[in-house]
Amino acid sequence: MTPRRREPLSRDRVVASALALVELHGVEALSMRKLAAELGVEAMSLYNHVANKDDVLDAIAEVVFADVALPPPTADWRVDARALADAFRAAALAHPRTASLSLARQLGYPAVPVTEAALDVLARAGFDPEQAVHASRTLLAYVIGTLLREIGSGPPDETREPALVATGLPRVAEAARHLAVCHHEAEYRFGLDLVLDALALRAVGAAGGPSAR
């Protein structure tokens, strides 16, 4: 009576399953056979919809950038820059294991709208196109560096602080209490403010106000 035993396979279904598997068990656990099994199908059937395994990995990496919810512009470019960085960060943290893939691979076309938004913010801040490219890359480098640390760090580890003290290095021992913990969110904000402050200085110097430099 059921007209169809199951949903037909499709590239989208394959990619969605792959993303789910990677988030559950990590990239290294993804195999074409397990992916097929997840979809109730044999491995080779996947090749009717994707070119090969690398194609699958590329596809799930792109999803992360496609998921960046670009914030609408306001009158204040600093607010917008922060919102854009936050949106990028949120998209990455929504799929952390896939995000490390996305960040490592070269950012392809799905990242272009993000670039557009960044360049627009920085143009409104007063940068000319060339400076805006440099500034956007600086901002992105910081956000990505932060994300990499956050994604890579496992659960809190009780043994880290004593181990750091035991190194005998004075500055490390002195700061061991702070090195052992990771307030990722707060640290991200600290550095982001810092970078934005610096960009604001450069923007003023470049175009807007009468300030020095």
Residues that bind a second copy (CB under 8 A): 100, 103-106, 109, 112-113, 115-116, 119-120, 123, 129-130, 132-134, 137-138, 140-146, 148-149, 152-154, 163-164, 167, 169-172, 174-175, 178-179, 187, 190-191, 194-195, 197-199, 201-202
Say how far apart CA 186 and CA 142 lie, in whole Å. 14
CB of 40 to a second copy, least distance (A): 29
Which run of H or E residues covers position 163? helix 160-166
| Cα–Cα nearest to 88, from 153, 128, 148, 14 | 148
Q: Are 80 and 73 in contact (CB under 8 A)?
A: yes
CB of 42 to a second copy, least distance (A): 25
Query: Among the candidate windows 33-41, 94-102, 168-176, 187-195, which touches DNA by CB under 7 A?
Result: 33-41
* Residue whose CB is less far from DNA, 42 or 76: 42
What residue type is 5 in one-letter code? Answer: R
Tell me the site size for DNA, rule CB under 7 A. 19
Q: Greatest CA span in the chain, whole angstroms? A: 79
State the minimum distance, in angstroms, from the CB of residue 201 to DNA: 49
Q: How far apart are CA 201 and CA 213, in angstroms?
A: 9
DSSP secondary structure letters along 137-160? HHHHHHHHHHHHHHHH--S--TTH
Minimum CB separation of residue 151 from DNA in Å reads 22
32's contact among DNA, a second copy, none, with CB below 5 to 8 A by partner kind, is DNA
Site string for DNA, 43-72 (x = CB under 7 A): xxx-xxx--xxx------------------
Q: Is the dihedral of CA 137, 138, 143, 148 positive or negative?
A: positive
Told to check if 12 binds DNA by CB under 7 A, we report no
What minimum distance in Å lies between the beta carbon of 110 and DNA? Answer: 22
Residue 149 binds: one of a second copy, DNA, none (C-beta under 5 to 8 A by kind): a second copy
Task: Please tell me what DSSP assigns to residue 175.
Answer: T
Report the residue number, 113 or 162, with the smaller CB distance to a second copy. Answer: 113
d(CA 47, CA 203): 50
